[in-house]
């Protein structure tokens, strides 16, 4: 249904302000308080409202949007209690929702946008939006606006639709006018709208721009792209997992009929990785039937479409989608889109990869084509060499603190290059790209070199080294970086720890203070978790084994009262560890080994806290409240996690520390 020509508050409808004061939110939900935008500033409003807070993992087990909406914002918890009771948003008579900076950070789950739309929200307002969440709103037909618009609406004024088009490219404007992506796609198929031919002049381009330009459809006009250009492009590869495939399947059947077909299913895949161990977590046990339904719908989708199948065999997953993709089918220069925010991990292999919501994925998997808007780029020139004890995870926690928090990286391609990158392994480069989404960036991409060629060639015997070299993309001399070029001297960095609540809360270790991270004091732990797409790769296992091997030689074991979980990112990584003898080391030190797949990172596997009093140090990528159980969650590097597990308290690693 097309969007109305103007937007005005429906008589009796209300505006909900997500304030930093939870009591004011509670009173609004109870109908006891009505706030005015004129009396508030952005600093009064809640920042970083993440998708886990909007729809925590268990809410996503309901794949129908109408059911999801009943538990909108179930992850906003204050003093152990939900701030939003069941149906609170749905029954609150709200039409507009207002928050602070960086709305929709975290997972690409479209359920976060759905929970608002199916609760009656027609307009979402924030100082800034995470790019995937913003796109999900657009695709669903939810308008996004400004604080000034809220003031006008509360004074009784109408806002013309054209006001919501400002700042958007011509194609996105047509999506807004159409009322969402599916109505736009139907209009495009009928010939009612046409993507405009571009006339972007010849210009030097960044890596992200060059990959996007190389995927333009014939007849697009100029062969160059610039930030802000909206283009139709072909997609090389994509994938979904059992957390998201059910919605993709349902949306396609609803839009195109139950006999729908995909243009080229060989380019796409399904993975059974996210919920493979969920029912082993006590908090997830009540949702066993819903989880099984998601698995059944994914199997049905795979059988119906013929996409590549990475389902579990005998209850064991082949691995986390992002890790398996880089091992088996992702290549330099490709454009990759999948239903997960950490799809950007593919950028470690010199690809342009990023996450999308279920609606957008359904549309692109149907045709193999998608609409993309070229983002600005920001470059990180890495120089020097990481000192012993410092890893790529520490680099990203440093960038999160100094560049993501002040929004330098917001909705940009993060480009990594320089001699410091060349000195990093491919697995460490994958960590850099993986955590671009924590920086609220569009994607992350690393320059390719001979290490890239060798790593891929060792796993893809069907490709010659020259084939791989031809695919690699490098920035043009003189390329323009809207976010600037930032030099990071790797030799100056210290191990970092992010305190609970957000990955951008990093604190560097104090090298003069022994093993302690001075600013957080003596933090005893109950759980240490080593795994996830970010930290379950071969090199991560090398780091765990190095620390634990030293502990074994010193006669140390994991202390009583501490649980240490080590999980493999893929079956290939598990085989690597077995060949290297790491499993024996893990057993001797008392670590608990978990088969390949996701798990504690999304609260759906061993390593999840069960009580709010517990403290976890984890090598995963984000530590939003409730992300991995109700306890306090610190983020750190593989080295710090392993060292902390042995000592029973958070500590950065240094050689000989157990002697």
User: Is 438 within a domain?
Assistant: no
User: Is 653 within a domain?
Assistant: yes
Is the same domain home to 41 and 162?
yes
pLDDT of residue 218: 86
pLDDT of residue 517: 61
pLDDT of residue 5: 95
CA 656 to chain centre: 36
**Nearest partner of 189 among 369, 345, 319, 14, judged by Cα:** 369
Q: Looking at the 3D structure of the chain, how many domains does it have?
A: 3
Residue ending a domain, among 147, 182, 217, is 182
What is the DSSP secondary structure assignment for residue 401, as one 8-state letter?
I
pLDDT of residue 626: 87
User: Is 459 within a domain?
Assistant: no
Task: Indicate whether 519 pLDDT > 80.
Answer: no
Domain range enclosing 241? 233-376
pLDDT of residue 25: 98
Is the same domain home to 277 and 339?
yes
Task: Indicate whether 625 pLDDT > 90.
Answer: no
Is the same domain home to 295 and 159?
no
CA distance readout (Å), 164 to 83, 125, 156, 176, 469:
30, 11, 17, 8, 44
**CATH code, 617:** 3.30.499.10
Task: Indicate whether 125 pLDDT > 70.
Answer: yes
Residues 180-222 pLDDT 10s: 999 998 888 888 888 778 899 999 999 999 999 999 988 888 9
Residues 401-427 pLDDT 10s: 999 999 999 999 999 999 999 999 999
Is the same domain home to 366 and 306?
yes
Residue ending a domain, among 342, 376, 410, is 376
User: Is 161 within a domain?
Assistant: yes
**CATH code, 20:** 3.20.19.10
Task: Indicate whether 1 pLDDT > 80.
Answer: no
Share the mean pLDDT of the chain: 95
The stretches of 92-141 forming alpha helices (DSSP H) are 111-117, 131-140
Is the same domain home to 40 and 165?
yes
Residue range 164-186: average pLDDT?
92
pLDDT of residue 512: 55
Q: How far apart are CA 579 and CA 576, in angstroms?
A: 5
Is the same domain home to 239 and 336?
yes
User: Is 573 within a domain?
Assistant: yes
User: Is 363 within a domain?
Assistant: yes
Task: Indicate whether 297 pLDDT > 90.
Answer: yes
Is the same domain home to 643 and 519?
yes
pLDDT of residue 283: 87
CA 617, 620, 625, 630 dihedral sign is: negative
What is the residue whose two structure tokens read 């933090």? 523
Would you state the structure tokens that stand for residue 561, as one six-digit string? 């009262």
Is the same domain home to 507 and 648?
yes
Residue ending a domain, among 360, 376, 392, is 376
Is the same domain home to 175 and 251?
no
User: 3-class SS at 67?
Assistant: helix
Is the same domain home to 372 and 511?
no
Task: Indicate whether 42 pLDDT > 80.
Answer: yes
Question: Would strands 237-241 and 376-383 be described as parallel, antiparallel, or unpaired?
Answer: unpaired
Residues 445-470 pLDDT 10s: 999 999 999 999 999 999 999 999 99
pLDDT of residue 509: 72
Q: Supply the DSSP string of 306-352, one letter for each residue.
A: --EEE--BTTB-SB-HHHHHHHHT--TT-EEEESSGGGGGGGGGT-E
Q: Supply the DSSP string of 169-233, one letter for each residue.
A: -HHHHHHHHHTSHHHHHHHHHHTSS-PPPB-PPP----HHHHHHHTTBPTT-B-S---TT-EEEE
Q: How far apart are CA 371 and CA 501, in angstroms?
A: 34
Q: How far apart are CA 105 and CA 503, in angstroms?
A: 11
User: Is 328 within a domain?
Assistant: yes
Task: Indicate whether 546 pLDDT > 80.
Answer: yes
Is the same domain home to 145 and 263?
no
User: 3-class SS at 274?
Assistant: coil
């Amino acid at each position: 249904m097309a969007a109305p020509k103007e937007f005005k508050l429906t008589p009796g409808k209300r505006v909900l302000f997500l304030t930093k004061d939870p009591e004011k939110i509670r009173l609004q939900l109870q109908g006891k308080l009505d706030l005015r935008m004129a009396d508030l500033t952005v600093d009064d409003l809640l920042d970083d409202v993440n998708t886990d807070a909007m729809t925590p993992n268990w809410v996503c087990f309901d794949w129908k949007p109408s059911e999801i909406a009943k538990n909108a914002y179930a992850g906003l918890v204050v003093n152990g209690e939900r701030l939003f009771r069941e149906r609170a948003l749905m029954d609150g008579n709200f039409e507009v929702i207002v928050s602070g900076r960086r709305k929709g950070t975290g997972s690409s789950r479209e359920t976060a946008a759905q929970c608002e739309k199916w609760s009656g929200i027609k307009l979402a307002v924030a100082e800034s939006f995470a790019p995937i969440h913003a796109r999900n709103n657009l695709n669903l037909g939810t308008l996004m606006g400004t604080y000034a618009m809220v003031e006008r609406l509360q004074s009784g004024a109408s806002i013309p639709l054209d006001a919501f088009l400002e700042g958007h490219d011509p194609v996105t404007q047509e999506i807004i006018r159409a009322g969402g992506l599916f109505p736009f796609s139907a209009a495009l198929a009928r010939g009612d709208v046409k993507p405009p031919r571009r006339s972007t002049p010849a210009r030097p381009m960044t890596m992200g721009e060059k990959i996007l330009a190389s995927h333009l459809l014939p007849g697009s006009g100029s062969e160059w792209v610039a930030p802000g250009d909206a283009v139709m492009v072909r997609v090389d590869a994509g994938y979904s997992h059992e957390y998201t495939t059910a919605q993709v399947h349902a949306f396609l059947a609803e839009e195109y009929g139950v006999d729908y077909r995909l243009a080229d299913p060989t380019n796409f895949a399904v993975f059974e990785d996210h919920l493979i161990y969920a029912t082993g977590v006590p908090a997830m046990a009540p949702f066993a039937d819903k989880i099984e339904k998601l698995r059944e719908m994914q199997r049905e989708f795979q059988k119906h479409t013929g996409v590549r199948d990475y389902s579990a065999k005998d209850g064991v997953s082949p691995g986390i989608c992002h890790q398996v993709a880089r091992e088996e089918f992702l290549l330099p220069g490709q454009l990759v889109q999948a239903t997960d925010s950490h799809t950007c991990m593919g950028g470690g292999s010199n690809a342009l990869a990023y996450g999308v919501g279920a609606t957008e994925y359904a549309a692109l998997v149907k045709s193999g084509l998608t609409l993309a808007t070229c983002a600005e780029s920001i470059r990180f020139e890495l120089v020097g060499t990481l000192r012993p004890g410092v890893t790529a995870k520490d680099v990203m926690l440093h960038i999160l603190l100094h560049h993501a928090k002040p929004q330098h990286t917001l909705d940009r391609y993060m480009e990594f290059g320089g001699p410091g990158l060349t000195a990093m392994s491919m697995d460490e480069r994958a960590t850099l790209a993986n955590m671009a989404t924590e920086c609220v960036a569009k994607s992350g991409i690393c320059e390719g070199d001979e290490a890239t060629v060798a790593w891929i060639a060792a796993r893809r015997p069907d490709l010659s080294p020259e084939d791989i070299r031809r695919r690699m993309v490098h920035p043009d001399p003189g390329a323009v970086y809207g976010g600037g070029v930032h030099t990071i001297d790797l030799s100056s960095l210290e191990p970092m720890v992010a305190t609970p609540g957000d990955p951008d809360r990093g604190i560097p270790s104090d090298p003069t203070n022994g093993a302690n991270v001075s600013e957080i004091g003596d933090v005893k732990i109950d759980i240490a978790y080593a795994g996830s797409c970010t930290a379950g790769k071969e090199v991560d296992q090398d780091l765990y084994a190095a620390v634990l091997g030293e502990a074994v030689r010193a006669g140390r074991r994991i202390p009583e009262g501490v649980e240490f979980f080590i999980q493999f990112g893929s079956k290939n990584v598990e085989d690597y560890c077995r060949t290297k003898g790491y499993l024996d080391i893990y057993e001797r030190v008392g670590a608990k080994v978990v088969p390949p797949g996701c798990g504690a990172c999304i609260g759906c596997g061993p390593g999840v806290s069960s009580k709010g009093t517990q403290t976890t140090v984890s090598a995963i990528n984000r530590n939003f409240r409730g992300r991995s159980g109700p306890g306090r969650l610190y983020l750190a590097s593989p080295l710090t996690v392993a060292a902390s597990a042995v000592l029973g308290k958070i500590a950065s690693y240094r050689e000989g520390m157990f002697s």
